[in-house]
Amino acid sequence: MRIVITGSNGLLGQKIVRICLDRGLNFIATSKGDNRNPDCPEHLYFPMDITNKLEINALFESYYPTHILHTAALTNVDYCEAHPEECEEVNVQATKLLFAAAVQFEAHFQLLSTDFVFDGQQGNYRETDAVNPLSVYARSKVHAEEVLQGAAHTNWSIVRTIIVYGEGHQLSRSNIVLWAIESLQAGKEMTIVNDQFRMPTWADDLAWACLEIIRREKTGIFHISGPELVSIYALVTRIALFYGLPTDGIQPVSSTTLSQAAARPPKTGFDLTKAREALGYAPLTIEETLALLSR
């Protein structure tokens, strides 16, 4: 295998790089700008703008990849709502460019997607359930998925996931768990929504699943997340209790009281049966992952 990893400076990208290094897999890590991951050797890093066809072609023609793990995306939901054209360019048009290159090189293409493709009215979603996006970001991910689903080239996989968390190097964005820990340790007052339900995903589990899909030569859609459906309020409360931090500063609120630009699905969560049976996927519980954080 010769793997190209887009978004290698991001949390998931860094975890995939780590597993590739541990397993001795051949890979090239790419992100826009400099390599911010000290674990990734510079000779295995290629700076690339995923919206630039010439830069994509240069990488593919020099490396000739067999697999592309496309983790790069614009994921700030409210930012996407205010910048729909940029969201379209990064999440959809870049996917078209990368997928076209994958088709040309007869490579497997894996797209990272999201639970936000669903409207959250049902929950416990299966891979075969109908999508109904509520926001600009969610629609961009549906359109990116459709690029693959409508193609004659069927050597692809789509990995949908939910609230990815964990530790990484020089991340451009934090994640809900690290933010909650830092806020709780600082004794800050926190207002947390109690009417949005998710299955938070340990980044290491997700990275393992992404690589396991290509190792087992699987195709199609996979739902990959943590094993527990919780409200965001319950998640933050469990984090506080795990670390022995006070919970009296955590105030539950309804999402209707927040001035969020983009609509969120109230309840997602995945049926993980396919991932468990096809991949042997066995995600860690929230407390098991908290024990692995350097806190």
Per-residue pLDDT tens digits for 47-103: 999 999 999 999 999 999 999 999 999 999 999 999 999 999 999 999 999 999 999
Give residue 173's pLDDT band: very low, low, confident or very high (50, 70, 90): confident
Average pLDDT value for the chain: 95
H or E stretch at 60: helix 53-63
What are 198-211's pLDDT values in tens digits? 999 999 999 999 99
Could you tell me the two tokens for 207? 């990275």
The Cα angle at residue 167 between residues 227 and 40, in degrees rounded to 5: 120
In this structure, CATH architecture of domain 2-167+201-227+268-284: 3-Layer(aba) Sandwich (3.40)
In the prediction, which pLDDT does 294 show? 66
pLDDT at 111 over 70: yes
Give residue 258's pLDDT band: very low, low, confident or very high (50, 70, 90): confident
In the prediction, which pLDDT does 247 show? 92
In the prediction, which pLDDT does 28 show? 97
Q: What percent of the chain has pLDDT over 70?
A: 99
DSSP code, position 103: H
Could you tell me the two tokens for 132? 């109904």
Q: What percent of the chain has pLDDT over 90?
A: 92
- Please state which of the ranges 69-73, 112-116, 179-183, 256-260 shows the lowest mean pLDDT: 256-260
**How many angstroms separate the CA atoms of 62 and 114, rounded?**
31
Which of 125, 111, 157, 160 is closest to 273 using CA atoms? 125
In DSSP terms, 144 is beta-bridged to none
In the prediction, which pLDDT does 295 show? 60
179, with CB counted inside 10 A (0-12, 13-18, 19+), is middle
Q: What is the pTM of this model?
A: 0.95
Averaged pLDDT for residues 253-278 = 93
- Please state which of the ranges 99-108, 148-157, 166-175, 185-194 shows the lowest mean pLDDT: 166-175
Give residue 166's pLDDT band: very low, low, confident or very high (50, 70, 90): very high
Torsion (CA) 22, 25, 27, 33 in degrees, nearest 10? 0
**How many angstroms separate the CA atoms of 277 and 48, rounded?**
36
In the prediction, which pLDDT does 171 show? 84
Averaged pLDDT for residues 114-133 = 96
In the prediction, which pLDDT does 174 show? 79
